[in-house]
Amino acid sequence: MTNIEWYKVIHKYNYKTVKHKTCAWIALRFLHIAKQNSELQNRWLPVQTCYEAVEKDEYPDGQQAQKDADRYNLENFVRSISTMHKDTKHNFDGDHNGVLIYRDRANKHYYYVTEPGTKVERPKQGCTLVDGQLVLLSPKRAKAAESPPKEAPTFIATAKKPLPKRGRKRKTVVPVVEENLPPKRSELLLMQSPWDSSEYKKLFKPRENETVRECLIRRIADLAHVNRGEKNWIDIVENHDKDGLCTPDFVFHLRHKCTLLAMAYKHALKLMGTGPSFRDCCTKAAEEYCSTGYNGIVAGSSVARLNAAFRENENFPGLQPKKARPSAAADVAANVEENPYVSDLEL
């Protein structure tokens, strides 16, 4: 008999006679520990947390448990749980023994310990563990939830020294570490929102202790108030037209001006700060409003002038009384009587 044949016989004999150890005690021990600890119940736990809970446990049954623990490792832990509760990988309708298993696309195992018969919603693929629950997040939020927070960068400046003269040994330049340096003015401007800049405040002139966005939202509501009632236009006119000089034609154009300016403010809230200027928003509002049939204002510059007139006192000026001279005719007649020889050309 050759050596190869002897090897096959011996290997076959050893395989039949050696008795393999079982790892079922790991799954039973984990279920016993989890039912005594409320922090391990009714929540999804990663496999490492469950593994460490059994690893830290003290074995009350003495040497036999310690002997079996010689084979206790993460691989055997996963195999033991998966073997005993294999039906729960695809069954979440309550038919389980108290442990549910979920494995994501990255082959990460999660366990859920609860009372037998309790129904648990099956997590969707691509879920991320957040506060004991598997939730579906966007790729960016999922990456941020899994990755640890980054440390703040430190500013390192290298001290500059003049080059040594010829013949002398050059000294090593030691880098100087400066911590908590205040940000530069250019960095502060980049961090600042354009809505908090002095340019936007000068353009719209909000009230004291009011942001520019809050100012525009309030003005849109005030301008929309004009078209909610027949006589609401009085609230947007200077002095509330106390002299009664505003004509129906003036009111007609005033309503359109309020609607146009409100549209420009809405476009500003949506577009400004991302590239377009307020003049671009005014032009867009004028182009859209012209399609309704009103052609009193067709240019964005005209809408911008409405903002300049409205931002000071948040109203529009009304009609002014005509400066007539009732005594002008009498003065002309008296002048003709005093100078009868004045020609018509001189008059």
Tokens, residue 64: 């036999």
Q: Which of 3, 13, 56 is nearest to 34 (CA)?
A: 56
β-strand partners of 170 = none
pLDDT at 142 over 50: yes
Q: Which of 22, 19, 38 is nearest to 84 (CA)?
A: 22
Q: Which residues contact 145 (CB under 8 A, 6 or more apart)?
A: 128, 130, 137
**Helical pair 74-84 and 24-36, crossing angle rounded to 10 deg:** 80
Query: Which sequence spans correspond to the domains of the chain?
Result: 20-138, 194-310
Tokens, residue 345: 């050309």
Q: Measured between alpha carbons, how far apart are the two ends of the chain, in Å?
A: 149
- Tens digit of each residue's pLDDT (9 = 90 or more) over 189-222: 555 677 788 888 888 888 888 888 888 898 898 8
Q: Does the model's pTM come out above 0.75?
A: no
Do 297 and 303 form a contact (C-beta atoms < 8 A)? yes
pLDDT at 66 over 80: no
175 confidence band (pLDDT: 50, 70, 90): low
- Tens digit of each residue's pLDDT (9 = 90 or more) over 260-308: 889 889 888 888 888 888 889 999 888 888 888 888 888 888 888 888 8
pLDDT at 182 over 80: no
- Tens digit of each residue's pLDDT (9 = 90 or more) over 239-272: 887 778 888 888 888 888 899 889 889 888 888 8
Do 297 and 305 form a contact (C-beta atoms < 8 A)? no
Do 240 and 318 form a contact (C-beta atoms < 8 A)? no
